[in-house]
Amino acid sequence: MKIKKIITGVLDENCYILEKNNTCIIIDPGDDYQKIKEQIENNKILAVLITHAHFDHIGALRNFLTKRSIKIFKKSNLEEQKNYKIGDFTFECINTPGHSKDSITFYFKEDKAMFVGDFIFKESIGRTDLPGGNAKEMSESIQKIITFPEDTKLYPGHGEETTLKEEKATNPYLNEQIKKDTNR
């Protein structure tokens, strides 16, 4: 699977285009529809995945809603821990509230790729002080994610990519959760 990152909008949101066999999936089309469309090239769009519904992650979504052949995956129509297959893409949905009530993570096990939205960033986590945010839920979501393979690459909604191993070593919020789990 080829992964392209397009930085969109005033908050420099990361939109991702996943490509495989002349098809693609778009994750978090934040803004700048024309910029995203150019990067899609001649690939057939199979789906749009939304990690959460904050404006900076869905600004260009309306442009994809007009095409009936494109499936939209968001928290309201997904089941946690279920594998979904669309075209040649297979992914798992993981409910990861904390930054927002509707935060979900998409895990592509075969490619060791996890799209985390604003849940985890390189050496940080998403804010929990916005409406719908919850520090306790964030802690519970981190507990889920730290059990995945350490070589999983994390693709956040803003900033640079990282790995779960790197975050376990350098991210103070993940380290705090790991210590809590160890002391139980």
Chain segment 47-79, per-residue pLDDT in tens = 999 999 999 999 999 998 877 788 898 888 887
Lowest mean pLDDT among 37-41, 70-74, 98-102, 119-123: 70-74
Spell out the alpha helix ranges (H) of 3-125: 33-40, 55-58, 61-65
Q: Residue 90 and residue 85: Cα distance in Å, rounded? A: 4
DSSP reduced 3-state for 116: strand
- pLDDT confidence of residue 78: 81
- pLDDT confidence of residue 184: 52
Domains of the chain by range and CATH?
2-182 (3.60.15.10)
Residue-averaged pLDDT of the chain: 92
DSSP reduced 3-state for 180: helix
Structure confidence by residue, pLDDT tens digits, 166-176: 999 999 988 88
Inform me whether the pLDDT recorded for 181 exceeds 80.
no
- Cα–Cα nearest to 27, from 107, 145, 147: 107
* pLDDT bracket for residue 144 (50, 70, 90): very high
Torsion of CA 50, 111, 155, 135, to 10 degrees: 70
Its pTM stands at 0.94
* Contact predicate 3/33, CB 8 Å: no
- pLDDT confidence of residue 183: 60
Inform me whether the pLDDT recorded for 122 exceeds 60.
yes
Q: Which amino acid is at 129?
A: D
